Amino acid sequence: MATKLEKVLYTAHAHTTGGRDGRSVTDDGLLDVKLSPPKAMGGAGNATNPEQLFAAGYSACFMGAIKHVAGVKKVAVPADASIDASIDIGPIPAGFGIAAKLVISLPGLDRTVAQDLVDSAHQVCPYSNATRGNIVVELVLA
């Protein structure tokens, strides 16, 4: 069952033409990206693809969730914290699906504290909440 938003804080708008071999532009013009299927999927591979955009969005959002839960728990997030995101695409019985892997680096933090931040962030991150139960998401603490 879908969870209804209690309050809308922000709405992003993008206009896309041409699908995977086209262009996406946000209403504020800050994102204007040419799209192309990757070579591995028979495309030219000369532009960004939706999986790259998903990887960037999920990793940025997840880092924001880590910072949020760290603030609540009074834990300082290392300045050099980072996330390497991988998004796979492949066939499933009803078409195509994706899988996600986030490799989270929180250098200098005690491993137990770092794992608690990752687990807590996974519960509050909007991307994690959107994908939970729908795709395989692997979280790896580096």
Task: Give the tens place of pLDDT for each residue, 104-123.
Answer: 999 999 999 999 999 999 99
The residue written with tokens 């955009």 in the block is: 53
Q: Quote the CA–CA distance of 107 and 85 in Å, as a whole number.
A: 17
**Per-residue pLDDT, 2:** 85
Q: What is the pLDDT of residue 48?
A: 97
**CATH 2.20.25.10 in the chain, residues?**
1-48
Cα→Cα distances 66→21, 44, 45, Å: 34, 36, 32
pLDDT the model gives residue 66: 98
| Residue 130 near residue 57 (C-beta atoms within 8 A) | no
Coil, strand or helix: which one is 21?
helix
Correct CATH for 49-141 of 2.40.440.10, 3.30.300.20, 3.40.718.10, 3.40.1360.10: 3.30.300.20
Query: 3-class SS at 24?
Result: strand
For residue 93, what are its two tokens? 């019985």
Ranges of the chain whose pLDDT falls below 70: none
Whole-number pLDDT of residue 1? 76
Q: If you search the block for the tokens 């796979």, which residue do you land on?
A: 88
Could you give the residue range(s) of every CATH 3.30.300.20 domain in the chain?
Answer: 49-141
Query: Which pTM was predicted?
Result: 0.95
List strand residue ranges (DSSP E) for the chain, in order: 14-17, 23-26, 32-34, 82-92, 95-105, 137-141
- CATH for 1-48 (3.40.50.1100, 3.90.550.10, 3.40.50.1000, 2.20.25.10): 2.20.25.10
What pLDDT, on a 0 to 100 scale, did the predictor assign at position 3?
87
Evaluate whether 137 touches 131 at the Cβ level (below 8 Å): yes
